[in-house]
Amino acid sequence: MSDSNSSTSNNTENSGRHSLAEIEKSIRKKFHKELFSKFAKAVKTYELIQEGDKIAVCISGGKDSMLMAKLFQELQRHRKVHFDLAFLVMDPGYNELNRKAIEDNASHLSIPITIFESNIFDAVYNIEKSPCYLCARMRRGYLYNHAKQLGCNKIALGHHFDDVIETILMGMLYGGQVQTMMPKLHSSNFEGMELIRPMYLIHEEDIKHWRDYNRLHFIQCACRFTEACAAAGTDSQMSSKRMEIRQLIAELKKKNPFIENNIFKSVENVSLNTVIAYKKDGVRHHFLDDYEKD
């Protein structure tokens, strides 16, 4: 969910941004095929929303989650299925400028956010090994807990198509495993709660086009660890690996324009008869287990 846009929220940057009416019109018209259609398709294909759901739309302040909030509002406007929304922002310790940028963008986009504080940045700042992983895990726990307090049965995260294919390749090349980022998951720690990813089919490039067309400016990952790495000219191991994978995909795409879709489809076309072993519900199955029975 990377974002190359500036995190500054000053009057100079925001003075040229499009009006709310223009932004919403761009979702319905200019970017309908690239954004809303794919959002609606993911919701239908993966059965992400059911009648009576109350969904906590989790907003980090970046382009992905802000767009997700607008797409949910547009979907709700169609009223094919009745569901309720809560727009949830967790402040894990943002600096004042980033907090103000989130509030300003939400106000301009007419997203009625609920903000709650946590101390996650303080908790992970001095962790040397995998601080980003720990931060993500802690964030999810806080979001589940607060969403449940608000009466929600689902949380929605803004991971997009590019996040999915990068995760697939990272698992293979660095983890020695075939797996993907799932479009929905049951929570193992919060009974009755689910996580959904309705941006699953949307390409990051199209999100950036929407953002830039409307002259919008959103924050990036604004944690102290990331800021410290940037100041020191270094990067976290996880983000550098993801960047490496991103660059690899870009290079492969030059030779094969279908490479992204092929990576995405690879985990939909797994034939268990052609793999050495696989796990299901934590139990390992090997092809030799049934080899003589065939």
pTM of the complete model:
0.88
Average pLDDT of the chain, as a whole number: 89
pLDDT digits (tens, 9 = 90+) for 41-100: 999 999 999 999 999 999 999 999 999 999 999 999 998 899 999 999 998 888 899 999
CA dist 181 and 164 (Å) reads 5
DSSP 118-145: --HHHHHTT--S-HHHHHHHHHHHHHHH
Secondary structure E strands in 80-202 = 84-91, 113-117, 154-156, 184-186, 194-196
pLDDT digits (tens, 9 = 90+) for 112-125: 999 998 877 666 56
Query: Nearest Cα to 54, choosing from 149, 172, 188?
Result: 149
HSE toward the beta carbon, residue 42, CA cutoff 13 A: 26
Q: Which domains does the chain have, with CATH numbers?
A: 11-236 (3.40.50.620)
Coil, helix or strand for 58? Answer: strand
CA dist 144 and 151 (Å) reads 11
Query: 106 vs 68, 87, 114, 247, 253, CA distance in Å?
Result: 12, 10, 10, 32, 35
- What per-residue confidence (pLDDT) applies to 292? 86
pLDDT digits (tens, 9 = 90+) for 9-34: 444 456 699 999 999 999 999 999 99
Q: Phi, psi at residue 277, to the nearest 5°?
A: -155, 160
Secondary structure element (H or E) that encloses residue 279, with its range: strand 277-280
pLDDT digits (tens, 9 = 90+) for 181-228: 999 999 999 999 999 999 999 999 999 999 999 999 999 865 555 554
